[in-house]
Chains A and B, each alone.
Chain A
């Protein structure tokens, strides 16, 4: 079986968070606080820590198994299969949400005359092809895009600093801790818990036991990048950041050098689309692996096309418009992810531990 290195796992996890993080995170955080928005992104570490804790338990109790296999092993064929289907639904809804965010962004930013569902179909065709080629190919594409990002992102960051105003962050801590905590809910419980999708890749990891540490590293890197991004966005845009769907796009649009260099938002849009395809591929990999576990087949390739098709259709069926997506992420996703990505695995591990408990073995030995 193809295996991926720790470096590839960390990159995949970083893009899983940053895919939509660089698109909507500053605007989401600014819904609750603008002066102290720079603190909101650091709450991602909380979600990353919770995900790392679940991964730590997983690789010790179920080494070499995916999350869906672990759930089935813990609860048996019937309840286990029902919970595995619940996990499949979670992955499907998550992918549909990201897919809709992507097609809406492309339609707004670059292709206003193209139907959104056609943009989505093109994106999911790329995702299906990547996933069909396997996890190793997805990992390598993640590696390939890294040098491009390392050149483009710092360049855009430095060029936009010209309009940066520190006054947007003053006074510090003026409204107390509550708005800061509220601004950190989505980074912590929506983005931070997305790291749990990596549990579906465990059989394909070269060193599964280091997965918790890899999740912590990925969450620290993502948190740092997002904090810088939020600081720059709020510093450049100021208070209007609250009312923008894509504030980072506006920051990039503001960049002008002389009379010739402007409209660098095209570069940003291309980067966002590439990263979103990688994010969708990573979660789609997990979904296909979950479907494989539910059906008990030896391969997951048969699930790639039908799952991509279902996710594409669901992204337009589940959400009427981008406002619906935003409302879902703000008011449902934190609770939904907390139960599905943290409580459900923890209950499964507890059930598995109770089944294997030492006093039960002793009693069986006496008999």
Chain B
């Protein structure tokens, strides 16, 4: 990942950007707020490359990761982000929590509130869970994925990766391919990229596309090729085996044949187009290993960007909130 200056206009350092108390989704963030977030994240890339990968910025602050859905990479990324900022980080996963004993999400959050955390990072299978919790509590809430709704930090880390590589988001053509219908990653990315002036399109099996267009300016294709045509960035989404049946597909092999991104399909995109995947990848299913490991792939850059952008998220939110 390079750290050369971006061509995008950085947020004006003299103008204080209004930082919302919660990060719930990309839908309501302005261009200035997104740029401020991405600019702040640049600081943290450097921190993770030092001999001592820790700064005292959030000393004395408490971050709770409440994950009511299985997740390894997002949770690890948030945990490390909090620790590198010197916050006290507590992880609560579904299996180990009283959520399995029948306690409601609200009761769990009210219990956590009594412990005075500064930020709670919430992953939950229900769309709207983060918004609901944020409306009921005094701490800051970061949505780490809520059902089919949003996954804002994924969109921020994707935008960070693109901006570091291509210098800007404005005017880029971004193709998002796979199971769009169930994907909060696709939704958050589309909100962010449209705000930043990118051109977005979706591609996937027809039953896995939204039945009605979400945005009139986002075309949807039931084949890869027209979506890839002239794309600067190709985002490939993970396909889950249990979704195949609803897509009238018999096997992962069939999905791979119709919607897998291989070297042949890649020829439709712009030469040097960036290849992205939120992970974990199904090698040989939605993406051919030659593409995933090829020179255009920035999949591992995304992981490093994830840590830096999540450090920025926690820094901006925990620093903004008098507890």
**A and B found bound together:** no
